[in-house]
Chains A and B, each alone.
Chain A
Amino acid sequence: MINILLPPIIIGISMLTGIIIYFINEKRERFRTILNLAGAFIKLLLVLFMLIKVLNGEEFQTRIGFVEGIDFVLIADPLSLLFLTLSSVLWLLTTFYAIGYMRDAKNRSRFFSYFSLCVAATAGIAMAGNLLTFYLFYETLTLSTFPLVIHEGSQKAIEAGKTYLRYTITGGMLILGGTLYLYSTAGSVDFATNGILQNIPLSKGELNTIFFFIFTGFAVKSAIVPLHGWLPKAMVAPAPVSALLHAVAVVKAGVFGIIRLILNIFGYELFHMANLSNIVIFAASFTIIYGSLMAISQKNIKRLLAYSTVSQLSYITLGISLVGNYALIGGMVHLVHQGIMKVTLFMCAGYFDKAFGIKNIEQLNCVGKRSPLAMATFTIAAFGMIGLPPTAGFITKWYLGVGGLESGAWYIVLILLASSFLNAIYFLPLIYRGWFKTVDETVIVKPKVLNYYTVLFLIFPPFVTAILTLLFGLFAASSFSPLYWATIIIYREFGL
């Protein structure tokens, strides 16, 4: 019984929280805060419960009739749980952060309501058992993130929201078209362990069409160049939105879709035999370099981080599309690692904005003296992005590099090294400014006096994620690390 009910309950908790919060009066802050945190916490407990069960080999499946021939299916396989756990943990932390950040903002009930709905949609994406269910939650995610992007209500925010919708709904159309075509040629859209298309003979043209449509559709949210245009623009959203959505929910949903497409629809073998990997590798590599290059020229911190996200996400795509265990594990584990590192960076950037009015790089001078803890977490996460040991970022790069060599694609190592180098070029100056440069009198910085509790809410979450970055790097070999889980996914699901 539990095995049938638990997936919908996990989604339902966030949805219920969202719906209730929507109607709460703006003034009843304490009630809303308690509800918010309680919802996030309960959800996390349920997810951990599910995690332990799946570790022991139990199966979860919920199936409801939907349209003619396709059911609405929720499952909990190890891959689902990777994404689900990541999003639940980070949701709790980001809610904490958002409560502090949005303390003086308007329309908070609306904000937190949509925030919860987003996470419900993300949970649905994680646990989707076929492409149609996936698409349902995917579009719901688009629709619930939209009000968050334009929350500020300024002209710029609305423009950003318009661009965001244009890109994502067009992407959604492509996915829908591809899914329909898949259903009509293959007769099924389920996610099967070895890929449903392995056993269904389709012509080269059909395979290419299916892949092209669905991959391009997912590529929009995965911010693969040239479909990444919405992401830097969406930085006009409040910092918690940028942190959660653009490190965890939206972009990860896109990449998760690509993983499902390659591994569970096409299947690992078919994907490589049909020579579909070439275009993915090319697109991913191009995005990695392009994103980093664009990041170098940015003056606004959040935009710089946005381009860094564009670049880093494609590590995941790159890893998945190479041959060999190491690359797969590396790509998959970066889903988690990039999430926690990026969240840290965005949360610190948001804190700097809130506390000192820092929006651009040049205002970062000497921040380290004023908030050493925040700057330290920023530094750790930045080192992770560059790929220095002992952070989690290093583990990813190592696995990807070894995987590249293993599959005979030696150029991967070059791309990784180049990317690390470029990352260093734009991150190290920030770190240097924060710790070592003295305050520049010509640059305006407006320190604000913040409530002690606000500061706590703003600094504690990135502190936690920074510690996790170190732990996941140092103790990568233990059975509690994402690396271990990624290895389990690859070994268990694909019998490799």
Chain B
Amino acid sequence: MIHILVILIILPIFLAAISLVFKISPFLLYICSMFIPLFGVLLATYVYFNGPISFSIGDWTAPLGITLYMDGLSALMILTLSFVLSFLSVYLVSYLKAEKFDIKSQDYIISAWLFMWGSLNALFLSRDLFNLYVTLELVGLTSVILIAIAKTENALRASLRYFILAMFGSLTYLFGVVMVYRSLGVLDLILISEAVDMKNLDFQLQIGFFFILLGLFIKGAIFPFHFWLPPAHANALSPISALLSAIVVKAPFYLCVRIITISGQNILDMRMMLPLLIFAICAIFWGSFLALRQNNLKMLIAYSTVAQLGYLYIMLYFVADMKSLDINTYKNAFAGVIYYCISHMVAKAALFMSAGNMVYASETHRISEIKNYKIFIPITIFAFGASSISIMSMPPTGGFVGKWMMLFASLNSQHWVVFFVILSGSILSLSYLFRAFKMFFVESDENLIEIRPIPFTMELSALSLGVIVIFMGFLSYYPLQLLLKWTLF
């Protein structure tokens, strides 16, 4: 069972290599899509009943060896990631075929995609700071490749901008890691948590953590480092936009959570964290405001990601104040933000997929032209609607469950700013999402537009994730238990 942890990483990377050589890349991708979610479920169930599992490669344990580790949080992330990527992969294959990419390009894209999948799995399973750096770099570089593959001028420009910023972020992160290592002498997260508990946080250590978080914030597109995200996500190919917005941008956030919850005391003085709160609130309002002004559908959704990330980082600030929270509030806050994060993963993927469908169908990005279709596309519209509801964090979707818990935590500890910002989130998201989905209902007397028929697979994958996000609104009990029971507090 434990060896499956390694397979999660090795399989996609191995298949990535093979797909460059042989011309069977869609088939290889389907293999991954079928098996990896299965492995994810198996592992999650195992962790649920037996607790965290770890696997030391070559039996070299920490502090020198590479250890793969899965606790409740990792299990939940990998589970969600597997399912989302599985549906996205099916979408990718269908999209590439529909847009008539030649076999060679298909192989390159799928190879990079598989490599990304393996790197993401590795990221969520790693347990020491340097390993995390390596996987973060892998994810970043693969993202650059995937954005640039779109080959348009905008895409190339966006990928270069992302590349430079990602490098900058990684170096900052690395600097922070060096400072932490200098202070504590260990890189393994669990060992670090023990060391921090025992030792007082001296200035060197705090600087280390500060730079680690700063690097992660740059990669995680929080205001004011968000400006690379909208062009990058909007100009990439649709399946890749979905991958980036749904999953890749959550990886730095996940790391922030790991770092901040590393010990029972605050790792940083709360006054140093205050800019985080301000920036997160700015992200929400700025992202929503700019989303309203977009004419390009994919830009609108990308700015929505910027805004939604703001919610995640607001709760990060909240959770960082660990000393002053009682255990119940902390659990609610933690579970809430993670559940919101995974609901957003599913919803954003569904949203980009349905938007991608519409962009494919009408061959235009402009919102004002996506209406009056001759062929009725109920499946895509439903997928778009369901994912919008989750992004607005309204019932009966997963987004609401996350929001409820976050609101409860902030209410209990009387953080009124956090409370009211999150509460009013629905209205903000509603305003920009309304611009997009009102188009589906417009019936004007103009001529009906001929559209390219959307391949059924593309519609179905969008729908599946849309349905899943609704189920997440009801079946939240077991994931939450998995999370709370088996994550170190």
- Chain B residues near A169 (CB, 8 Å)? 392, 394, 426-427, 430
When C-beta atoms are compared, the residue in chain B nearest to A183 turns out to be: B408
B255 within 8 A of partner (CB): no
Interface residues on B, range: 35 or more
Chain A residues contacting B130 (CB-CB under 8 Å) are none
Assess the A68–B382 pair: CB atoms within 8 A.
Answer: no
- Is B443's CB under 8 angstroms from A154's CB? yes
Instruction: Give complex CA distance A110, B440 in Å.
Output: 12
Residue A229 is within 8 A (CB to CB) of chain B in the complex: no
Query: In the complex, how many residues of chain A place their beta carbon closer than 8 angstroms to a beta carbon of chain B?
Result: 43
Complex contact B405–A68 (CB within 8 A): yes
CB < 8 Å neighbour of A172 from B332, B401, B426: B426
Q: Which of B379, B389, B395, B412 contacts A184 (CB 8 A)?
A: B412
A68 touching B438 in the complex, CB below 8 Å, given contacts A139-B394, A153-B443, A177-B423:
no
A205 to B166, CA, bound (A): 51
- A68-B335 Cα distance, complex, nearest whole Å: 10
Whether B427 pairs with A170 at a CB distance below 8 angstroms is yes
- Look across to chain A and name the residue whose beta carbon is closest to the beta carbon of B328: A68
Q: Is B424 an interface residue (CB 8 A)?
A: yes
Residues of B close to A140: CB separation below 8 A? 395-396
Tell me if A460 is interfacial: C-beta within 8 Å of chain B: no
Is B368 in the interface zone, CB < 8 Å from A? no
Asked if residues B401 and A67 are in contact (CB atoms below 8 Å), the reply is yes
B476 interface contact, C-beta 8 A: yes
What residues of A have a CB within 8 angstroms of the CB of B412 in the complex?
A: 184
Asked if B332 and A139 sit within 8 Å, CB to CB, the answer is: no
Q: Which of A22, A106, A132, A180 contacts B443 (CB 8 A)?
A: A106
Residues of chain A in range 170-188 having any CB-CB distance to chain B below 8 Å:
170, 172-173, 176-177, 180-181, 183-184
- Judge whether A151 and B411 touch: CB under 8 Å: no
Question: Chain B interface mostly helix, strand, loop or mixed?
Answer: helix
Partner of B407, one of A143, A172, A176: A176
When the two chains form their complex, are residues A143 and B408 in contact, meaning their CB atoms are under 8 A apart?
no
B391, chain A: closest CB distance, angstroms: 13
Closest to A177 in B: B423
- The stretch that binds B, out of A158-166, A315-323, A329-337, A403-411, is A158-166
User: Counting CB contacts under 8 A, is A136 at the interface?
Assistant: yes
CA distance A183 to B395 in the complex (A): 18
Given contacts A110-B378, A150-B438, contact A173 B424 (CB under 8 A): yes
Residues of A within 8 A of B405 (CB): 67-68
A162 contacts B480, C-beta separation under 8 Å: no
Given A26-B376, A67-B476, A184-B408, the answer on whether A158 and B442 have CB atoms closer than 8 Å is: yes
Among the listed B378, B401, B404, B442, which residue makes an inter-chain contact with A22, where contact means beta carbons less than 8 Å apart?
B378
User: B49 in the interface, Cβ–Cβ < 8 Å?
Assistant: no
Expressed in whole angstroms, the minimum distance between the Cβ of A216 and any Cβ of chain B is 14
Enumerate chain B residues within 8 angstroms of A453, measured Cβ to Cβ. Answer: none
| Chain B, 357-414, CB within 8 A of any chain A CB | 376, 378-379, 382, 389, 392, 394-396, 400-401, 404-405, 407-408, 411-412
Q: Interface 1/0s, chain A 133-153, versus B by CB < 8 A?
A: 001110110110001001111
CB of B22 closer than 8 Å to a CB of A: no
**A residues less than 8 Å from B382 (CB atoms):** 22
Contact (Cβ within 8 A) A152 B443: yes
Q: Is B434 an interface residue (CB 8 A)?
A: yes
When distances are taken between beta carbons in the complex, the residues of chain B under 8 Å from A170 are 427
18 contacts between A and B (CB under 8 A): A64-B474, A67-B401, A68-B480, A135-B395, A136-B400, A139-B396, A142-B394, A150-B441, A158-B438, A165-B430, A166-B427, A172-B394, A173-B424, A176-B407, A177-B407, A177-B419, A177-B423, A184-B411
A-B contacts besides A158-B442, A165-B430, 4 pairs, CB < 8 Å:
A66-B476, A139-B396, A177-B423, A181-B411
